[in-house]
């Protein structure tokens, strides 16, 4: 093959590859563009169009969703802000509780042999097999007895019950990939077992912890069924419950739903942006030979 | 610097007995090499010395100090791991400074010692890099530096060269020996590579199945192997072994008789061999190193007559593969002899070893 032939064939390959990638991106983004268009449209007609361009562009939908207020105890409060805060606080707390409990547990399961280890792992796995809705009624009764219905604490506790086993499984896998030699080297260098864990294992597991925390956050942030079951006061709602209220039995406000979806996505996108630098794969590469 | 003593050390993992009563003594400032085949317990012994494993029974002392039950950090040791075990999230500088920081040394001392060691090992331009940006040889040097910078009482090496290519391995081996001669810190080095063992050791311990089979200087162990196992393990190509028995002649001389199936037995008269342990009719194994044979000046009275099989030219020598008494046999001859397959060779054995066929013990 001559040089010019080779060059033109590689250019063709590149064009083809870019075309396929653009198609895939378009396929993934199209529904989102459609939601954006609907959120910015002045009409409430969700009828599909080929080009997702807003009709009668306006920000009124976003304003209507975001600037809701309510009188609580005689004072005017920014209701949507309160609900957004609920979602963020509950999700962050769930992720933190999940990571805080799961990290030492996963490390122990990855590194030590002890009585009941495999039975414990099987039990953890079993908890993952049931959908959240299966435990909704017992959780309701429990929270009612504890006086934690309509509270962020109650919701965090419920979410943590499903998040912790998931985080343990995720992190156990991550710890198993970190060579034991690293901890042993730290112990020979003068660290205690705990010191080696804090100074060497945790930094090496940082990407895995970040991803696991993100998943735990997303799980809590998107969860609807338990939130809808356990929360009845509007100022305690989390965002999925708020969004669902726009789709009534007789009247669906799609443009408000779309506007709400956009606003709800912002904290998640911000979080991804913050966490992404921790997601760098292969942080442990080069620590040990091989 | 301290001497390292191990007394009657046992280690058991579940039902598997890995070390079965190991005794060893490494003099103050000596470079000891633990050598043996895979699974002989040499790495376990090193881990027991480091404190990363606890002994089932027995005692380890560094100087006068019993350390058997001390944690690794309280033993004042440094270890170079086979995998190097560099902390991936820290730079080379931070890797070197890690142990000193844990011991809360003043910043100025840390800086001075790290720079000193970096300079010594040629790591100064790499101090800001992370381990993933280093080559295999550079990582190895950082691992060595991390050990040296601490100035411990004992260095432990767990097969530190096994991940390097052959050329680099030879270079680093010389470097390790040179550093040891400069610092004279008591060192224990584990390897399965007999070249490393022979070249590095002041004192060498050959382990087999959880026991120290023989110890001594490399020259002693190589020249006078105490057992058939040691004889077969050290030396490349391996020693040749022939099943034989002893016969005492009327004139008080001894003969090694190698029985063959299709020809008269091979008889080799023993010269300059201590006779205290010899018994008439004793079943033995005759051991001959491939390098301990030369072409006989008089083929009529040669010890062995054989036909050359496959001949491999290895630069200064030729390895000749053949058979003696229906058993595989290798000899190394000078390359100038230009030996060819099918050539008839008459060779004299310059040095031989006799082992009791039942116990494997040397009869010397």
- The pLDDT value recorded for residue A47 is 67
**Closest chain A residue to B164, measured at CA:** A289
| The model's pTM | 0.83
Q: What average pLDDT does range B120-137 have in this prediction?
A: 93
Question: Is the pLDDT assigned to residue A271 strictly greater than 70?
Answer: yes
Q: Which of B85, B139, B146 sits opposite A184 (nearest CB)?
A: B85
Three-state DSSP class for B236? coil
pLDDT over 90, % of chain B: 84
Q: Does B329 touch chain A (CB under 8 A)?
A: no
Domains B4-225 and B240-356 fall in the same CATH topology: no
Rounded to an integer, what distance in angstroms lies between the CA atom of residue A8 and that of residue B331?
62
The tokens for A63 are: 């304003």
Could you state, in order of their start, the residue ranges of all structural domains in chain B? Answer: 4-225, 240-356
Tokens 């500088």 correspond to B93
Q: Which of A188, A190, A286 sits opposite B130 (nearest CB)?
A: A286
For residue B133, name the pLDDT band (cuts at 50, 70, 90).
very high
Question: Is the pLDDT assigned to residue A248 strictly greater than 60?
Answer: yes
Torsions phi, psi of B104, nearest 5? Answer: 55, 40
- The C-alpha of B357 sits at a distance from chain A's nearest C-alpha, in angstroms, of 42
- DSSP lists the bridge partners of residue B287 as B241, B353
Whether residue A41 is found in the same domain as residue A122: no
The per-residue pLDDT for range B266-304, each reduced to its tens digit, is 999 998 899 889 999 999 999 999 999 999 988 888 899
Whether residue A96 is found in the same domain as residue A233: yes
Q: What average pLDDT does range B36-44 have in this prediction?
A: 94
Query: Who contacts B289 (Cβ-Cβ below 8 Å, separation ≥6)?
Result: B235, B239, B240, B351, B353
CA atoms within 13 A on the CB side of B261: 4
Q: Which residue has the higher pLDDT, B66 or A254?
A: B66
Chains A and B: how many Cβ contacts under 8 Å?
A: 95
For residue A284, name the pLDDT band (cuts at 50, 70, 90).
very low
Q: Which of A190, A204, A290 sits opposite B83 (nearest CB)?
A: A290
Q: What average pLDDT does range B55-74 have in this prediction?
A: 95
Domain covering B240-356 in this structure, CATH number: 2.40.50.100
Whether residue A124 is found in the same domain as residue A145: yes
For residue A64, name the pLDDT band (cuts at 50, 70, 90).
confident
Query: Who contacts A232 (Cβ-Cβ below 8 Å, separation ≥6)?
Result: A149, A150
Strands B311-313 and B327-334: unpaired
Question: Is the pLDDT assigned to residue A132 strictly greater than 80?
Answer: no
The secondary structure of B178-233 as a DSSP string is HHHHHH--EEEEEES-HHHHHHH-SEEEEEETTEEEEEE-HHHHHHS-SBHHHHHH
Q: Is the peptide bond before B49 cis (omega within 30 degrees of 0)?
A: no
> Is A289 inside any structural domain?
no
- The pLDDT value recorded for residue B140 is 92
- Mean confidence (pLDDT) of chain A: 86
Q: Which of B185, B169, B327 is nearest to B244 (CA)?
A: B327
The per-residue pLDDT for range B87-109, each reduced to its tens digit, is 999 999 999 999 999 999 999 99
- The C-alpha of B132 sits at a distance from chain A's nearest C-alpha, in angstroms, of 4
- The pLDDT value recorded for residue A171 is 93
Question: Are the beta carbons of B221 and B206 closer than 8 angstroms?
Answer: yes
Rounded to an integer, what distance in angstroms lies between the CA atom of residue A112 and that of residue A193?
12
For residue A290, name the pLDDT band (cuts at 50, 70, 90).
very low
Rounded to the nearest 5 degrees, what angle is found at the Cα of B202, between the Cα atoms of B201 and B204? 60
- The pLDDT value recorded for residue A285 is 40
Three-state DSSP class for B92? helix
The tokens for B184 are: 């004279």
Contact B73 A288 (CB under 8 A): no
> Is A118 inside any structural domain?
yes
Q: Which of A29, A56, A41, A31 is nearest to A254 (CA)?
A: A41
Question: Is the pLDDT assigned to residue A25 strictly greater than 60?
Answer: yes
- The pLDDT value recorded for residue A48 is 63
- CATH code of the domain containing A252: 1.10.3720.10
Split into its structural domains, chain A has a count of 2
Q: In CATH, which superfamily holds the domain spanning B4-225?
A: P-loop containing nucleotide triphosphate hydrolases (3.40.50.300)
Q: What average pLDDT does range A191-217 have in this prediction?
A: 92
Contact B85 A191 (CB under 8 A): no
Q: Does B52 touch chain A (CB under 8 A)?
A: yes
For residue B243, name the pLDDT band (cuts at 50, 70, 90).
very high
Query: What residues in A contact B77, CB-CB < 8 Å?
Result: 188
Q: Show the domain range for A108.
A: 69-279
């Amino acid at each position: 093959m001559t040089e010019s032939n080779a060059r033109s064939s590689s250019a063709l390959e590149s064009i083809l590859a870019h075309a396929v990638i653009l198609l895939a991106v378009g396929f993934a983004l199209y529904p989102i563009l459609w939601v954006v268009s609907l959120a910015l449209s002045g009409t409430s007609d969700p009828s599909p169009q080929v080009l997702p361009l807003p009709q009668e562009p306006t920000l009124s939908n976003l304003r209507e969703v975001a600037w809701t207020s309510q009188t609580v105890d005689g004072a005017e409060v920014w209701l949507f802000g309160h609900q957004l805060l609920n979602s963020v606080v509950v999700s962050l707390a769930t992720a933190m509780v999940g990571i805080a409990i799961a990290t030492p547990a996963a490390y122990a399961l990855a590194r030590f042999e002890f009585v009941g280890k495999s039975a414990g792992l099987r039990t953890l796995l079993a908890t993952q097999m049931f959908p959240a809705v299966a435990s909704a009624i017992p959780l309701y009764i429990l929270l009612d007895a504890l006086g934690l219905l309509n509270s962020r604490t109650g919701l965090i506790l419920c979410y943590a019950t499903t998040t912790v086993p998931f985080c343990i499984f995720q992190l156990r896998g991550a710890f198993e990939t970190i060579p034991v030699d690293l901890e042993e080297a730290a112990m020979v260098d003068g660290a205690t077992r705990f010191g080696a864990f804090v100074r060497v294992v945790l930094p090496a597991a940082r990407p895995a912890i970040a991803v696991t925390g993100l998943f735990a956050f997303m799980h809590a942030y998107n969860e609807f069924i338990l939130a809808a079951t356990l929360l009845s006061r509007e100022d305690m709602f989390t965002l999925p419950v708020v969004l669902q209220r726009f789709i009534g039995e007789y009247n669906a406000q799609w443009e408000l739903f779309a506007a709400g979806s956009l606003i709800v996505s912002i904290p998640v996108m911000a979080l991804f942006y913050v966490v992404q630098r921790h997601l760098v794969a292969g942080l442990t590469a080069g620590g040990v030979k091989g | 610097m301290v001497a390292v003593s191990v007394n009657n050390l046992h280690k058991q993992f579940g039902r598997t007995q890995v070390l079965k009563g190991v005794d060893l003594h490494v003099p103050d400032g000596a470079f000891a090499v633990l050598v043996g085949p895979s699974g002989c317990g040499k790495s376990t012994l090193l881990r027991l010395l480091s404190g990363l494993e606890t002994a089932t029974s027995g005692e380890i002392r560094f100087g006068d100090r019993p350390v058997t039950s001390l944690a690794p950090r309280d033993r004042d040791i440094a270890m170079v791991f086979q995998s190097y075990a560099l902390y991936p999230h820290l730079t080379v500088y931070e890797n070197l400074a890690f142990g000193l920081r844990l011991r809360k040394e003043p910043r100025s001392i840390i800086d001075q010692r790290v720079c000193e060691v970096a300079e010594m090992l040629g790591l100064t331009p790499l101090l800001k890099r992370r381990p993933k940006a280093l080559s295999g040889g550079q990582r190895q040097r950082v691992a060595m530096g991390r050990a040296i910078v601490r100035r411990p009482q004992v260095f432990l090496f767990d097969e530190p060269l096994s991940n390097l290519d052959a050329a680099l391995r030879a270079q680093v081996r010389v470097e390790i020996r040179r550093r040891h001669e400069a610092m004279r810190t008591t060192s224990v080095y584990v390897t399965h590579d007999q070249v490393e063992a022979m070249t590095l050791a002041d004192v060498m311990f050959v382990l087999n199945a959880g026991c120290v089979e023989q110890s001594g200087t490399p020259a002693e162990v190589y020249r006078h192997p105490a057992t058939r196992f040691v004889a077969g393990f050290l030396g490349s190509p391996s020693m040749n072994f022939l099943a034989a028995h002893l016969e005492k002649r009327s004139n008080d001389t001894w003969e090694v008789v190698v029985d063959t199936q299709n020809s008269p037995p091979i008889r080799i008269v023993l010269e300059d061999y201590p006779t205290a342990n010899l018994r008439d009719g004793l079943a033995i194994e005759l051991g001959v190193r491939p390098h301990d044979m030369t072409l006989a000046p008089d083929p009529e009275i040669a010890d062995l007559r054989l036909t050359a099989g496959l001949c491999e030219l290895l630069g200064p020598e030729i390895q000749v593969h053949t058979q003696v008494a229906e058993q595989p046999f290798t000899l190394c001859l000078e390359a100038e002899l230009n030996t060819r397959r099918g050539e008839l060779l008459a060779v004299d054995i310059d040095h031989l070893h006799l082992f009791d066929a039942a116990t494997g013990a040397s009869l010397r």
